[in-house]
Amino acid sequence: MTNARDWQGTVGKSWAQEWQRTDTSFGELTPHLLATIAAEPGDVIVDIGCGAGELSIAVAQTRLQASVTGVDISDDLVATARTRSALPNVCFLQADASQWGPQSERPDLYISRHGVMFFPDPPAAFANLAKVAAPDARVVFSCFRKPSENVWATSLAALLPPTAPAATERFAPGPFAFADPDHIRLCMAGWRDLAFTPVDFAYVAGAGEDPVGEAMALFRRIGPAASALRNLGDAERQDVEQRLLELVKAHLVDGRVSFPAAAWLVSATSDYRNG
Ligand SMILES: C[S@@+](CC[C@H](N)C(=O)[O-])C[C@H]1O[C@@H](n2cnc3c(N)ncnc32)[C@H](O)[C@@H]1O
């Protein structure tokens, strides 16, 4: 489980410092998401949970007539995103997207790369997003499919000490909270024409001159290994680090460390009628 407090604290700080590595990890998914977004109309675009802003900036660069607002709950990530672009048609805003509303024009297109699975009350959040949007607004986002289809997640879980049983609340936030399309339908009450496209991609943990070092640096700061390592004593940490290194080396192929990963691209239309 990763909640709003985590994103506003340690987790958000780590993502802000590691944005090059997290962008690399999504590098094979992003073109699929951008191609889906490119097929959608929309001039007032909001990127939900924009993080360090790669998706917002990429869309703003290709749609110069549009305004793109990246909304994120983490101050650190918004500050990082602001340093990355001087484009006049993109801006970044610190806010809880589940309660956000526009200052002026209503959005006609929401986009998100893995930023919509962390709302404490997703049906209320998606109802709000529909309510504050233009009639028939569209949404396009990516999210992980189930852990068993994401080898990076099962491989890491296998070498970490057992954790507390997964949260049982119906809408517990987390990276796999939107793995099940039926659950997404429940969360997106008030949205119609839901479409799910599966995308299999390589989650690139390390590339460049030192792919093994890059992957170790990523896993030490981001994701399940990072939170486990933070809480282990010295001996256990060394043991996990050693096994992590073996895992990473085993996944080094053609100069990069990568793991099979699986996502949904989800699109839908707002059913909300303003007024
Ligand atoms: C997995 S990260 C993805 C970040 C970014 N979209 C990317 O692709 O690099 C999830 C993002 O959602 C943001 N987030 C979580 N809950 C949020 C909320 N209630 N409102 C706005 N942003 C939120 C986090 O701060 C984080 O930046």
Which domains does the chain possess?
4-150+162-205+260-270 (3.40.50.150)
54 Cβ contact list (under 8 Å, min separation 6): 19, 23, 26, 30, 84, 113
The pLDDT value recorded for residue 165 is 61
Query: Is any ligand 1 atom within 6 A of the Cβ of residue 219?
Result: no
Closest residue by Cα to atom 14, ligand 1, is: 49
For CA atoms 160, 161, 162, 164, the dihedral sign is negative
Atom of ligand 1 nearest to the CA of 120: 19
Q: What is the pTM of this model?
A: 0.96
**Three-state SS sequence of the chain:** CCCHHHHHCHHHHHHHHCHHHHHHHCCCCHHHHHHHHHCCCCCEEEEECCCCCHHHHHHHHHCCCCEEEEEECCHHHHHHHHHHCCCCCEEEEECCCCCCCCCCCCCCEEEEECCCCCCCCHHHHHHHHHHCCCCCCEEEEEEECCHHHCHHHHHHHHHCCCCCCCCCCCCCCCCCCCCCHHHHHHHCCCEEEEEEEEEEEEEEEECCCCHHHHHHHHHHHCCHHHHHHHCCCHHHHHHHHHHHHHHHHHCEECCEEEEEEEEEEEEEEECCCCC
Contact 209, 266 (CB under 8 A): no
Query: Is any ligand 1 atom within 6 A of the Cβ of residue 14?
Result: no
Taking the C-alpha atoms of residue 74 and residue 55, their distance in angstroms, rounded to an integer, is 16
Tens of pLDDT, residue by residue over 192-207, are 999 999 999 999 999 9
Q: Examine the pLDDT at 3 and tell me if it is beyond 90.
A: no
Tens of pLDDT, residue by residue over 116-159, are 999 999 999 999 999 999 999 999 999 999 999 999 999 999 98
Distance 9 CA to ligand 1 centre (A): 12
> Which stretch of 17-26, 213-222, 231-240 has the lowest confidence by average pLDDT?
231-240
Report which of 175, 183, 57, 192 is spatially closest to residue 116, judged by C-alpha positions: 175
Query: Is any ligand 1 atom within 6 A of the Cβ of residue 113?
Result: yes
In this structure, the number of other CB atoms found within 10 A of the CB of residue 87 comes to 13
- Mean pLDDT (the chain) is 94
Tens of pLDDT, residue by residue over 103-117, are 999 999 999 999 999
Atom of ligand 1 nearest to the CA of 52: 9
CA max distance for the chain: 62
Contact 53, 60 (CB under 8 A): no
Mean pLDDT of 247-257: 97
Closest residue by Cα to atom 4, ligand 1, is: 51
Query: Is any ligand 1 atom within 6 A of the Cβ of residue 18?
Result: no
Q: Examine the pLDDT at 164 and tell me if it is beyond 80.
A: no
Relative to beta strand 256-270, strand 252-253 is antiparallel
Ramachandran angles phi, psi of 153, nearest 5°:
-75, -45
